[in-house]
Amino acid sequence: MRDAMSRRIIIIGANAAGLEAASAARKTDRDAEITLVTGEPHLAYSRCGLPYVLAGEIPSFQDLIVFPPSYYKMMRLEVRTETHAVSINPKEKKVELKSGREIEQEEYDSLIISTGASPFTPPIKGLEKRGVFTLRTIEDGMRIKEAMENAKRAVIIGAGFIGIEMAHAFREHGIEATMVELLPNILPAALDRDMAQAAQRVLEERGVRVLTGTSVEEILGEGKVEGVVAGGGRIEADIVIVSTGARPNTELARQAGVEIGPTRGIRVNPRMMTSIQDIYAAGDCAESYSLLTGQPTLSQLGTTAVRMGRVAGINAAGGYSTFPGVLSSAVTKAFDIEIGSTGLTEVQAQRLGFKTVSGVVTSKTRARYYPGGKDIRVKVVAEPDSGRVIGCQIIGGEEVTQRINAASIAIQMGMTVWELAKSDTCYAPPLNETWEALTLASDNAARRMKEPR
């Protein structure tokens, strides 16, 4: 029987945001009754690791599961797998849950919606054929892994992070890989064209065929994939991966009367509270705000999800926490190349009405005379009048992540290129050049503008 004095928290969705919300809620309220509900058969796992299992760099999909069942027992979290939230009744503060044929009503004091997102599939003829996949769940990964066993050629529709990671996975297994991107360059949400071209050259050197500014018109085959029509020509394929982004899962929230924002994500305030009292949202289903523009944005990243989840969990349990917003800082690795970005690209900034100046430098990750140093290319984007840093993109053989982190902090602190160029950085022959590449790129940008007196 439920303790009438204890707070009842229900979390719909038990992956990155949901699990972090549950953990934060438990640390905030030691006596709360906390229930995690997920339609999947697995406890929380890392979706970001799926391509690396397929590449053979992580042994098993089971390795992606974040915590063993004992963790949930220790944290006194009730977990209901293969259970779907059918509806929310905000007036009575009840959630209708369905598990198999069984349907029950559960009361809540606080509700957190962390329903994630679903792959977006463009209207391409032939999507229903066998051999066409999206990658979102462990089950998706298992189906792709099975198909890879007898595949020789793959086409990847979309050249975002997942597309590049899947190209890497296919090439690691000797499968021919062709990426087809509708926009003018790969990674269009993270890189400007000049940086994207540098990344594309590396991918092509590793055997990936890249077609940009090209659409897939049709998927061919009699029941099973045999190829695609793209750019007016035919590309043979045994597997097609559709990696064209994800749409927030908002139907449950929408039906409950929760307000949806202009990004198609659930609108939330800085405490992650929705338009309905005591209902919070976090993760890929919720919209955030850009730290640079103050405008609503979708930041469907694992880092954003856990930060949102923590804030939602603390507040749902009676504490107080706020989420400041995002720069959508992101990194990936494919083959022996690391790619990262934070803030705005020049294209994004100019589309939003910013004037921009950029500085680019190609350097080494170690002293030039020290063996094993790798190329690294850094681009810093700034406003010409104020000199404020508003974006950074990096491509390199190693040490990209921490440089992106440093650039992210610089943007959050409102630093200018003049300040960043004069940063006190460290050097040792096995670890870095005397002049840090991030400061050199900032100095290059600074030279193109006049420092205010």
- The shares of helix, strand and coil residues in the chain, as percent rounded to the nearest 5, are 25, 30, 45
Question: Read out DSSP for 150-217?
Answer: T-SEEEEE--SHHHHHHHHHHHHTT-EEEEEESSSSSSTTT--HHHHHHHHHHHHHTTEEEEES--EE
d(CA 21, CA 317): 10
Q: 361 has which bridge partners?
A: 378
Catalytic entry in 48, 285, 392, 426? 48
CB 165 within 8 A of CB 52: yes
Does the annotation count 48 as an active-site position? yes
For residue 448, the SS3 value is coil
Amino acid at 341: S
Q: Are strands 357-364 and 375-382 parallel, antiparallel or unpaired?
A: antiparallel
Contacts 24+ apart (CB under 8 A), 307-310: 308/17, 308/272, 308/282, 308/283, 309/16, 309/17, 309/18, 309/19, 309/20, 309/21, 309/24, 309/112, 309/114, 309/282, 309/283, 310/20, 310/21, 310/23, 310/24
For residue 119, the surrounding DSSP H or E stretch is: strand 117-119
Q: Is the dihedral of CA 170, 171, 176, 179 positive or negative?
A: positive
Give me 301's structure tokens.
């990243």
Q: How far is C-alpha 32 from the chain's CA centre?
A: 31
Q: Is the dihedral of CA 412, 415, 420, 422 positive or negative?
A: negative
Give me 446's structure tokens.
């600074």
d(CA 349, CA 390): 8
**Residues with catalytic annotation?**
48
